[in-house]
Amino acid sequence: MVFQSPRGTADILPQDQPQWRFVEQAARRMAYRFGYDEITTPIFEDTDLFSRGIGSSTDILEKETYTFPDRGGDSMTLRPEGTAPVCRAYLQHGMNNLPQPVKLFYIVPNFRYERPQSGRYRAFNQFGIEVFGEQDAYIDAEVIELAWKYLEALGLKDLSLTINSIGDPSCRPKYIEHLKDYYHPHIANLCADCNRRINTNPLRLLDCKNDPCQELIESAPKSIEMLCPSCDKHWNSLVSNLSNIGLKHTVENRLVRGLDYYTKTVFEISPPDDGRMSVIVGGGRYDGLLEELGGSPTPGIGFGMGIERVIENLRRQKISLNQQNEQKIMVAHIGNEAKLEAIKLASLIRSNGGTSLVAPSRGLRSQLKYAAHIKATEVVIIGDDEIESGLFPVRNLANSEQKSFRKEEIINMFTQNQ
Ligand code: HAM
């Protein structure tokens, strides 16, 4: 039997790497442009970090984590999301003592034991950002703007931005009571998930996708109508900040997000064929999380964006990325002496910062076929005559033009643009 990659995981094959590289580099550029610094946290953390951080009644904690005892008997969990680990790092490294806000981004793999389907994997990658220490809603709008500008810069079209406010500990309990009262007479008609969640996580009833619950969601009480004065002020400020920077949005009462740490602002960005599986960006504010993790009260906000979903949408919208033309030089050789010369030349090109490889040891025709297969941009051809004259033909594989140059010229030509 030949092994297969585990269910819900995928290889990123050589032919897909340029697209991944482009998408990740563009993410880094955009994050730097907004003043974010990169952070990378370990792939696994103490399990308690996630039970405290994400909440034990969330789907992730209930059924999706990869949790295992290590050989010392401590319980570890593979990172299912980036926010809790970045909060942990912020506290552990005393970043709360730095001038605030602290703005961080990450591009990291995450692991969730979900039912695999299109756009939903068990191992997936997120580009995420987190901002700590800023209460003002201008930053909520800026966080959303970063995600939006990034997707726009990649060329994605017809995206939609939905926003909501789910209040904070001073107004949410009242809203939740109200929601429960509203649902109570209809318990018998709710789906099994909602029947369970009405006690464990009633807000999640609003984003149920099962048919029997849709009508009830339509007329459910809206969180933005029950905000306390400070959440209401923050919400109004978010809306006017978004308008100020020209970001079109829809207010969506159903938007509650699947993680327990959110307060006030929540948002999502989705492609045209909306559906739970297709949300590209999800994020929001989490003003109580740092305190929950042992820090002093510190506001926080951020988003996570699934890179696989970004790439799938680029494919679906047939967007070919403006990839840099990287030069890749193959040095071909005819004869033993020429081969030694080819090895030396390829090595010199690399030492000077270029990309080059020596052709495989077979006939010239077959070497040239190989050059086309590996998508070399140029081939330098070395034989006895060339060694004698010191002039080496360089063939451009895109237009088949060929011209001869001296060794030093070749090295300069293939290294100066790198
Ligand atoms: P999330 O909504 O769980 O939020 O995930 C954010 C994004 O990650 C999703 O919108 C989706 O693009 C991608 N994603 C999630 N699960 C999968 C999966 N199984 N397969 C493929 N892609 C997936 C969070 O993770 C929060 N930490 C976001 C955040 C940061 N909130 C504040 N700061």
User: Mean pLDDT, the chain, as a whole number?
Assistant: 94
120 lines ligand 1 (CB under 6 A): yes
300 lines ligand 1 (CB under 6 A): no
- What one-character-per-residue DSSP string does 366-418 give? HHHHHHHHTT-SEEEEE-HHHHHHT-EEEEETTT--EEEE-HHHHHHHHHTT-
Q: Each residue of 123-145: pLDDT tens digit?
A: 999 999 999 999 999 999 999 99
Which residues neighbour 208 within 8 Å (Cβ) at sequence distance 6 or greater?
191, 193, 194, 214, 217
Contact 105 CB / ligand 1 (< 6 Å) = no
Residue ID of nearest Cα to ligand 1 atom 21: 120
Q: Which of 125, 279, 280 to mutate to test the pocket of ligand 1 (most atoms within 8 A of CB)?
A: 279
Distance of CA 135 to the CA centre of its chain: 25
**Ordered domains of the chain (ranges, CATH):** 14-171+227-316 (3.30.930.10), 329-413 (3.40.50.800)
The Cα–Cα gap between 256 and 260 comes to 10
DSSP state of 197: H
Q: Which atom of ligand 1 is closest in space to residue 122's alpha carbon?
A: 19
Task: Looking at the CA of residue 83, tell me the nearest atom of ligand 1.
Answer: 27
Instruction: Compute the distance from residue 126 Cα to the ligand 1 centre, in Å.
Output: 7
Window from 1-15, 260-274, 284-298 with minimum mean pLDDT: 260-274
> Other C-beta atoms within 10 Å of 99: how many?
6
E strands in 112-159: 123-132
Q: Is 0.85 surpassed by the pTM of this model?
A: yes
Residues 172-212 have pLDDT tens digits of 999 999 999 999 999 999 999 899 889 888 999 998 988 88
Q: Decide whether any atom of ligand 1 lies within 6 Å of the 283 Cβ.
A: yes
pLDDT tens digits, 38-80: 999 999 999 999 999 988 778 888 899 999 999 999 999 999 9
Q: Quick one: tokens of 261?
A: 């740490």
Nearest one of 94, 125, 140, 169 to 302, comparing CA atoms: 140
Pocket lining: 64 vs ligand 1, CB cutoff 6 Å: no
Does any ligand 1 atom lie closer than 6 A to the CB of residue 279? Answer: yes
Q: What is the pLDDT of residue 64?
A: 94
Q: Is the pLDDT of residue 366 over 70?
A: yes
Q: At 336, is the pLDDT very low, low, confident or very high (cuts 50, 70, 90)?
A: very high
Share of the chain above pLDDT 70, in %: 97
* 324 burial via Cβ count (<10 Å: 0-12, 13-18, 19+): exposed
CB 352 within 8 A of CB 185: no
CA angle 170, 172, 177 (to 5 degrees): 120
Average pLDDT over residues 81-99: 97
Q: Which residue's alpha carbon is at the smallest distance from atom 12 of ligand 1?
A: 306
Task: Give the mean model confidence (pLDDT) for residues 76-94.
Answer: 98
CA of 10 to the centre of ligand 1 (A): 17
Q: Which atom of ligand 1 is nearest to the CA of 257?
A: 2
pLDDT for residue 417: 54
Secondary structure of residue 37 in the 3-state scheme:
strand
- pLDDT exceeds 70 at position 303: yes
pLDDT of residue 275: 58
For residue 161, give the nearest of 150, 149, 148, 151 by alpha carbon.
148
Q: Lowest-confidence range among 118-122, 227-231, 319-323?
A: 319-323
